[in-house]
Amino acid sequence: MKDRVLFVEDEADLGNVVKQYLEVMDFEVDWCKNGRVALEKFRDHSFLYEIVVLDIGLPGMDGFELAENILKISPEVSFLFLTARNEKPDRLHGLKIGADDYITKPFDIDELVLRIRNIVRRKRTGAAHSIINTITIGDVSYSKDALQLHIDGKDTVSLTRREAELLEYLLSRANKVLKREDILTQLWGENDYFLGRSLDVFISRLRKHLSVSKTVSINNVYGVGFILNIRKP
Q: What is the predicted pLDDT for the residue at 85?
A: 67
Chain mean pLDDT for the chain: 85
- Distance of alpha carbon 196 from alpha carbon 109, whole angstroms: 31
Report how far apart, in Å, the C-alpha atoms of 103 and of each of 19, 91, 109, 230 are. 16, 10, 11, 39
Q: What is the predicted pLDDT for the residue at 126?
A: 57
- Distance of alpha carbon 100 from alpha carbon 24, whole angstroms: 23
Q: Which are the contacts of 148, defined by CB distance < 8 A and separation ≥ 6?
A: 142, 156, 157, 158, 159
Q: Look at residue 111 and tell me whether its pLDDT is greater than 70.
A: yes
Q: Which are the contacts of 153, defined by CB distance < 8 A and separation ≥ 6?
A: 139
Q: What is the predicted pLDDT for the residue at 86?
A: 66
Q: Which are the contacts of 212, defined by CB distance < 8 A and separation ≥ 6?
A: 151, 152, 155
Q: Does domain 131-230 have CATH number 1.10.10.10?
A: yes
- Distance of alpha carbon 30 from alpha carbon 41, whole angstroms: 9
3-128 falls under which CATH superfamily? Response regulator (3.40.50.2300)
Amino acid letter for position 231: R
- Distance of alpha carbon 88 from alpha carbon 30, whole angstroms: 29
**Mean pLDDT for the stretch of residues 160-178:** 87
**Mean pLDDT for the stretch of residues 153-161:** 80
**Biggest distance spanned by C-alpha atoms of the chain:** 60
pLDDT cut 70: percent of the chain above it: 92
pLDDT digits over 186-202, tens only?
Answer: 888 888 888 888 899 99
pLDDT digits over 123-133, tens only?
Answer: 766 554 444 47
Q: What is the predicted pLDDT for the residue at 95?
A: 74
Indicate the pTM of the whole model: 0.57
**Mean pLDDT for the stretch of residues 206-225:** 91
Q: What is the predicted pLDDT for the residue at 130?
A: 46
Q: What is the predicted pLDDT for the residue at 195?
A: 82
H or E stretch including 30? strand 27-32
CA proximity to 18, closest of 94, 101, 82, 66: 82
End-to-end CA separation in angstroms for the chain? 49
Burial class of residue 111 in the structure, from the number of CB atoms within 10 Å of its CB (0-12 exposed, 13-18 middle, 19+ buried): exposed
Query: Highest mean pLDDT: which of 78-92, 114-128, 159-173?
Result: 159-173
- Sorted by where each begins, the domain ranges of the chain are 3-128, 131-230
Cβ-contact 142, 148 below 8 angstroms: yes
- How much of the chain is in helix, strand and coil states, percent to nearest 5? 45, 25, 30
